[in-house]
Structure 1
Amino acid sequence: MAIEWRGVMPAVTTKFTSDDQLDLKTFELNINAQLDAGVHGIVLGGTLGEASTLSNEEKSELTQTTVNIVNDNVPVLINIAAQTTKSAIAAAKKAEQDGAKGLMMLPPMRYKADGKETVAYFKAVADNTSLPIMVYNNPVDYGIEVTLNMFEELLSCDNIEAVKESTRDISNVTRIKNAFGDRLKIMTGVDTLALESLLMGADGWIAGLVCAFPKETVAIYELQKAGKIQEAIEIYRWFLPLLELDINSKLVQNIKLAEVATGIGTENVRAPRLPLIGEERSKVLQIIEEGLKNRPSLPNYKSL
């Protein structure tokens, strides 16, 4: 399956049982809710998926499980966030064996690679996999920016096809389009800039709050794509206080609380993360409750 870099692709949470095992039953419940809403792909093992806490065996199990659930209806991607080039190549090969259809890739972790090293890292993985690659460009959280000049070099690799644009600079969508046209597809990666990015030419949305609100997220994408901008804006304005839960250091706990509220998740997290308590928890719950109270009626967005 070739990947069409478009639409909404949830960066899904990883579900855990109360005794810290993978909760595949609840995970399947959530994936099916995403599919029912009409998402265009599934992204595993990102920040929201608590990737840094998962063993290689758990990542493999999640990939194989998701591939079986989606049954080729949408592509399954897995994130690679590795400390060495060798381990990144191994992860890419394992992902391909497990049935993933694409990779999301962060620059090297921990060591702050310079531009030359970062380009060499991405190219080495691209040269050792047939899977299409989406470069995750998030200098705010991960300290390394993949610049336009670096992308110019990276695009010599045919399977580097897309960028998850998370620089927080909305004008970067236009810069990428001006520089590369459709050669580099753009998936916006910041929930609170999603509609703005789509309207400026981004091809799709790697989303976070979609984990709890899949239909609303897909409706925004489909409405703006169909030119029904005002209808998309109205849903987006309702959604924004919830979307802001994603741009927070406790985004995993926040979004898992939202998944509980919409009936498609649990709030179990893996240590060192802990569930929210006290005033912090109350504030998040208040935002979620307010959103649910004013939840909009959606048009038949699948038929647009």
Structure 2
Amino acid sequence: MNFKWEGVMPAVTTKFTSDDTLDLELFLKNVDAQIKAGVSGIILGGTLGEASTLEEGEKESLVTATVKYVSGKVPVIVNIAEQSTRGALKAVELAEKYGANGLMVLPPMRYKANNTETVTYFSEIAKSTTLPIMIYNNPVDYGIEVSLSMFEELIHFPNIQAVKESTRDITNITRLRNRFGERLNILCGVDTLALESLLAGADGWVAGLVCAFPRETVAIYKWIKEGKHREALALYRWFMPLLELDINPQLVQNIKLAEVATGLGSEFVRAPRLPLQGEERKRVQGIINAAMASRPVVKL
């Protein structure tokens, strides 16, 4: 499948039942809402997807069920986050086998690779597949920054096509554009910087709160691209308290609680995660309740 790295691409949550098995029915209900809202792709197996807790058979079920359900309407992107190069190459092989259309690739997990090791890691992955690749650049959470000079080496691989920009430095979008022009598509990876990133020239938004609020997320992207900045800004200001739930260690629990409020998910998480409790639960629920009470009607 040929596709462009642009638009809103949800990093979807994985749905579980009360007895800790996959809830594919509820999962696909959410995927359906994303497609109807106009997203440009579905990303599986990220942090929000609790991928580190999933067994291989469960990953296969999620990818194959999603590929079958979307039926070519949008690409299905699989996250690759492994500790070794060998593990990453195996994960890529399986993603291809299950029918993935593209890959979002993180640097090596746990080990803080140096620049040469990181470039070599990404290069080995790119050489092993024809699937298009988006490199996830998130030094804040993962301790490794993919610098401009490193991208200079990586763009020799034609299937390295995009970057999920999560450095938290908006000016890095301009640096990437100045250095590489349109060679790399740029997608914002931080919910609370999405509007600013899009105005700075980002092509898209890898979103989190979209899992609960797909229409609102797509509307912000669409209106910015159409030049309706006032409308986008008003909606973004309403959205911000919710978006801030994504930049939190309990982002999975936060977003799943928001999904409950909009009827697009359940609160079940996989241990060691637990549902929110006590004062933190009250705080997050209060934010969600306030947003729902003032939720605007969005017409796309």
Task: Give the distance between the partners of 2:133 and 2:57, measured in 1 at CA.
Answer: 22
Q: How does 1:150-169 map to 2 (within 5 A)?
A: 150-169=150-169
Aligned residue for 1:153, secondary structure, equals: helix
Structure-2 residue corresponding to 1:136: 136
Query: Is there any run of 5+ residues in structure 1 with no aligned partner, and where?
Result: none
Aligned residue for 2:187, secondary structure, equals: strand
Percent identity, aligned pairs only, is: 66
CA contact (8 A) 1:15 1:26 kept: yes
How far apart are residue 17 of structure 1 and its match? 0.7
How far apart are residue 58 of structure 1 and its match? 1.3
Aligned residue for 1:238, secondary structure, equals: helix
Q: How does 1:239-254 map to 2 (within 5 A)?
A: 239-254=239-254
Structure-2 residue corresponding to 1:72: 72
The amino acid of 2:215's aligned partner reads K
The amino acid of 2:255's aligned partner reads I
- Normalising by structure 2, what TM-score? 0.99
Q: How does 1:15-34 map to 2 (within 5 A)?
A: 15-34=15-34
Aligned residue for 2:151, secondary structure, equals: helix
Deviations 1:134-171 (A, max 9, x none): 00000000010000000000011110000000000010
Q: How does 1:154-303 map to 2 (within 5 A)?
A: 154-299=154-299, 301=300
Aligned residue for 1:201, secondary structure, equals: coil
The amino acid of 1:30's aligned partner reads N
Q: Provide the aligned C-alpha RMSD in A.
A: 0.6
The amino acid of 1:166's aligned partner reads S
How far apart are residue 61 of structure 1 and its match? 1.2
Deviating runs (4+, > 4 A) in structure 1? none
Point out the more displaced range, 288-297 or 251-260: 288-297
Aligned residue for 2:3, secondary structure, equals: coil
Task: Give the distance between the partners of 2:202 and 2:172, measured in 1 at CA.
Answer: 10
Residue 41 in 1 paired to residue 41 in 2? yes
How far apart are residue 51 of structure 1 and its match? 1.1
Task: Give the distance between the partners of 2:50 and 2:154, measured in 1 at CA.
Answer: 28
Structure-2 residue corresponding to 1:106: 106
Aligned residue for 2:157, secondary structure, equals: coil
Deviations 1:259-294 (A, max 9, x none): 000001000000000000111000000000000011
Aligned residue for 2:63, secondary structure, equals: helix
Point out the more displaced range, 10-19 or 54-63: 54-63
Task: Give the distance between the partners of 1:112 and 1:54, measured in 2 at CA.
Answer: 24
Deviations 1:78-107 (A, max 9, x none): 100001101101111111111110000000
Task: Give the distance between the partners of 2:17 and 2:112, measured in 1 at CA.
Answer: 35
Deviations 1:178-217 (A, max 9, x none): 1101101001000000010000000000000000000000
CA contact (8 A) 1:11 1:208 kept: yes
Structure-1 residue corresponding to 2:89: 89
CA contact (8 A) 1:3 1:102 kept: no
Task: Give the distance between the partners of 2:187 and 2:65, measured in 1 at CA.
Answer: 24
The amino acid of 1:165's aligned partner reads E
The amino acid of 1:160's aligned partner reads I
Task: Give the distance between the partners of 2:87 and 2:61, measured in 1 at CA.
Answer: 18
Task: Give the distance between the partners of 2:208 and 2:38, measured in 1 at CA.
Answer: 15
Deviations 1:41-67 (A, max 9, x none): 000000111111112221111110100
Task: Give the distance between the partners of 1:205 and 1:69, measured in 2 at CA.
Answer: 22
How far apart are residue 3 of structure 1 and its match? 2.2
The amino acid of 1:266's aligned partner reads S
Aligned residue for 2:43, secondary structure, equals: strand
Task: Give the distance between the partners of 1:162 and 1:269, measured in 2 at CA.
Answer: 30
Task: Give the distance between the partners of 1:132 and 1:231, measured in 2 at CA.
Answer: 34
- Normalising by structure 1, what TM-score? 0.98
